């Protein structure tokens, strides 16, 4: 018989009933959402990103390892985080006059390529995956 993963004390009887009746379907929906999330990040070409990063190097360093405290280190940062940050500057969701001006010049492919480039650089802290 199918059993809920959470201890029953954390779930209401109604939740348990719904999960017993629809457990497989809920699992299928969650699996679908996870698949969507992993494919939502554009691939990005790190080689192309390197060429496009020339304009960024004066502040973020040639490899994204900025040595100036005012400018964040991009090297080794997660690719999807970098993409998210650049899109947020471009949309105005994240406000910074300097980065807004640079992000405004980037299309989605540029952003994916730049994010791929910086994500493959060695940062100050690199996760061992
Ligand atoms: C004139 C200096 C300058 C240039 C050139 C520049 N940046 Fe930035 N960048 C900054 C500053 C300052 C910040 C921090 C802004 C803030 O507080 O949000 C930043 C933040 C960022 C962030 C967010 C980092 C984080 O940890 O959240 C990304 C990503 C980024 N820049 C990418 C780029 C890219 C890609 C380019 C080239 C297209 C570029 N920057 C060009 C100064 C610059």
119 CB-side CA count, 13 A:
18
Specify the pLDDT at position 39. 45
Ligand 1, closest atom to CA 70? 12
Kindly report the pTM of this predicted structure: 0.74
> What span, in angstroms and rounded, lies between the C-alpha atoms of 71 and 61?
9
Which residue's alpha carbon is nearest to atom 38 within ligand 1? Answer: 56
What's the Cα-to-Cα distance from 80 to each of 21, 105, 116, rounded to whole Å?
A: 36, 19, 9
Instruction: Reply yes or no on domain 46-119 having CATH 1.25.50.20.
Output: no
Q: How far is the CA of 99 from the centre of ligand 1 (A)?
A: 5
Contact, 83 vs 14, CB < 8 A? no
* 61-76 per-position pLDDT tens digit: 999 999 899 999 999 9
Structure confidence at residue 20 as a pLDDT band (50, 70, 90): confident
What rounded mean pLDDT belongs to the chain? 83
Structure tokens at 11: 């779930």
Residue 75 DSSP code: T
Q: Is residue 51 within 6 Å of ligand 1 at its C-beta?
A: no
Instruction: Note whether 89 and 105 are within 8 A (CB).
Output: no
- What's the CA-to-centroid distance between 17 and ligand 1, angstroms? 50
d(CA 67, CA 78): 19
Q: Is 57 in the pocket of ligand 1 (CB under 6 A)?
A: no
Give the domain ranges of the chain: 8-40, 46-119
Tokens at residue 7, please?
A: 């201890």
Sign of the alpha-carbon dihedral angle for 120, 88, 66, 48 = positive
pLDDT tens-digit series, residues 38-68? 445 568 999 999 999 999 999 999 999 998 9
The closest residue, in CA terms, to atom 36 on ligand 1 is 56
């Amino acid at each position: 018989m199918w059993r809920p993963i959470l201890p029953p004390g954390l779930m209401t009887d109604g939740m348990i009933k719904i999960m017993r009746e629809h457990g497989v379907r809920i699992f299928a929906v969650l699996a679908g959402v996870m698949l969507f999330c992993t494919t939502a990040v554009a691939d990005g070409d790190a080689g192309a990103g390197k060429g496009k990063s020339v304009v960024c190097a004066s502040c973020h360093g040639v490899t994204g390892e900025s040595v100036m405290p005012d400018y964040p280190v991009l090297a080794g940062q997660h690719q999807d985080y970098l993409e998210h940050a650049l899109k947020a500057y471009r949309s105005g969701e994240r406000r910074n006059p300097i980065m807004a001006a640079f992000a405004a010049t980037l299309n989605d492919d540029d952003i994916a390529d730049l994010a791929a480039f910086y994500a493959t650089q060695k940062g100050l802290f690199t996760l061992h995956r």
